[in-house]
Amino acid sequence: NAGVTQTPKFRVLKTGQSMTLLCAQDMNHEYMYWYRQDPGMGLRLIHYSVGEGTTAKGEVPDGYNVSRLKKQNFLLGLESAAPSQTSVYFCASHFAGANVLTFGAGSRLTVL
Amino acid sequence: KQEVTQIPAALSVPEGENLVLNCSFTDSAIYNLQWFRQDPGKGLTSLLLIQSSQREQTSGRLNASLDKSSGRSTLYIAASQPGDSATYLCAVLSGSARQLTFGSGTQLTVLP
């Protein structure tokens, strides 16, 4: 099925551990985004990419790194997880020139 | 910096009632405004997108209006059903970086 797939769906980390969230889309979208959603707050943009090999910082990039080595994949990395990074992470994508985003189902991360 | 506010944070109505959800934004220089639906534990689904030059968009029982000059949008849901129960988020696309800024959402419960 076409869409945006996020892995893993759930993860529990200890402070200081590292991990990578994978976002994969099979719609040939140029633009891809990583957001975090916290209770009582809207989604906040972490990083985004407008094409293969490009990335840019969003509103809350500190503590995260990203890579877009292949057009269909956008990876979000936490090098040294902190409890403040406990959140639900969403990936989204769309075609260049089109503004309707397709979202993944989310990845729930807990940092103890 | 663009800020998006949605009031109320939660709303409970009896089935069959018509209702209005509100969204306000601080910077009227937007490209478009979108309304999303989010079901518990799921990603976001785009409902309606209104371009900055448009006044409203309709899809089935949903009607979204945009008053850019006053920084407001409303989502009208006609003849509400229990299946409409979800969190509704609005988001505006603005700025030189063309980034989406989300509101924190209105959690709607439609009682049978």
Considering just the CA atoms, what is the radius of gyration of chain A in Å? 13
pLDDT of residue A39: 85
Write out residues 28-67 of B within 8 Å (CB-CB) of A.
31-32, 34, 41-46, 49
Cβ contact B104–A56 (<8 Å)? no
Region B72-87 average pLDDT: 97
For the stretch A43-100, pLDDT in tens is 999 999 999 999 999 999 999 999 999 999 999 999 999 999 999 999 999 888 777 8
Residue that is written with structure tokens 């503590």 in the block:
A63
pLDDT of residue A1: 59
Task: State yes or no: pLDDT of A110 exceeds 90.
Answer: yes
How far is the first Cα of chain B from the last one, in angstroms, to the nearest whole number? 41
pLDDT of residue A87: 97
How far is the first Cα of chain A from the last one, in angstroms, to the nearest whole number? 35
Q: Higher model confidence: residue A97 or residue B81?
A: B81
Cβ contact A59–B99 (<8 Å)? yes
For A14-40, the DSSP string reads: -TT--EEEEEEESS--SEEEEEEE-TT
pLDDT of residue B108: 97
Backbone angle region of B79, left / alpha / beta, with phi > 0 → left and psi within -120 to 50 → alpha = left
Separation CA B109–CA B112 (nearest Å): 10
Enter the tokens of residue B13: 């109505």
Q: Is A48 on the interface with B (CB under 8 A)?
A: yes
The amino acid sitting at A106 is G
Peptide bond between residue B82 and the one before it cis (omega within 30 degrees of 0) = no
Cβ contact A58–B89 (<8 Å)? no
Q: Is the C-alpha dihedral spanning A61, A67, A73, A75 positive or negative? A: negative
Task: State yes or no: pLDDT of B98 exceeds 80.
Answer: no
Residue that is written with structure tokens 């906040």 in the block:
A44
For the stretch B21-76, pLDDT in tens is 999 999 999 999 999 999 988 889 999 999 999 999 999 999 999 999 999 999 99
Separation CA A73–CA A76 (nearest Å): 10
Residue that is written with structure tokens 């890579």 in the block:
A67
Backbone angle region of A69, left / alpha / beta, with phi > 0 → left and psi within -120 to 50 → alpha = alpha
Pairing of strands A31-37, A43-49: antiparallel
CB A76 within 8 A of CB A59: no
Cβ contact A103–B4 (<8 Å)? no
Closest CA to B87 of B18, B2, B11: B11
Which residue from B43, B49, B97 is facing A103, i.e. has the nearest CB? B43
Q: Higher model confidence: residue A40 or residue A13?
A: A13
Separation CA B66–CA B61 (nearest Å): 17
DSSP at A70: S
Residues 6+ apart with CB under 8 A from B39: B45, B86, B87
Q: Is B104 on the interface with A (CB under 8 A)?
A: yes
* Alpha-carbon gap: A35 to the closest alpha carbon of chain B (Å): 10
* Alpha-carbon gap: A104 to the closest alpha carbon of chain B (Å): 6
pLDDT tier, B99 (very low <50, low <70, confident <90, very high otherwise): confident
Inter-chain contacts counted by CB atoms under 8 A, chains A and B = 52
Q: Is A44 on the interface with B (CB under 8 A)?
A: yes
SS3 B67: strand
Task: State yes or no: pLDDT of B101 exceeds 70.
Answer: yes
Cβ contact A101–B32 (<8 Å)? no
